[in-house]
Amino acid sequence: MKLKPGCAEEYRRRHDALWPELAALLRESGISDYAIFLDRGSNSLFAVQKLGPGFDPEALRRHPLMRRWWEYMADLMEVHPDKSPVEGELELMFHLP
């Protein structure tokens, strides 16, 4: 994902005040141990999540609460027309278990 320039502190502030109902939805959907990192040089965001069995990303994307969060965050990030964040796939280059 990618932040718009000058939006890092507001992005952090909004996540520090994450809506309790959104945190519950993420957990109920099978997401745990969720962290988002920022590369300040490129404004790129890198999210790491542990996903439980049966996690359905499409169901989460369709959920009205998730869509409301996207709308709330759209002014800070690069987004698609439906306000979902622009995301890219990352290639695993190294893993030390």
Active site residues: 15
Q: Which residue pairs from 56-61 have beta carbons closer than 8 angstroms and sit at least 24 positions apart in sequence?
A: 56/29, 56/30, 59/29, 60/25, 60/26, 60/29
List phi, psi (to 5°) of 61: -65, -30
Residue 51 to residue 33: CA distance in whole angstroms: 9
Where helices occur in the chain by DSSP H, the ranges are 8-16, 20-28, 57-62, 64-73
Beta bridge mates, 46: 37
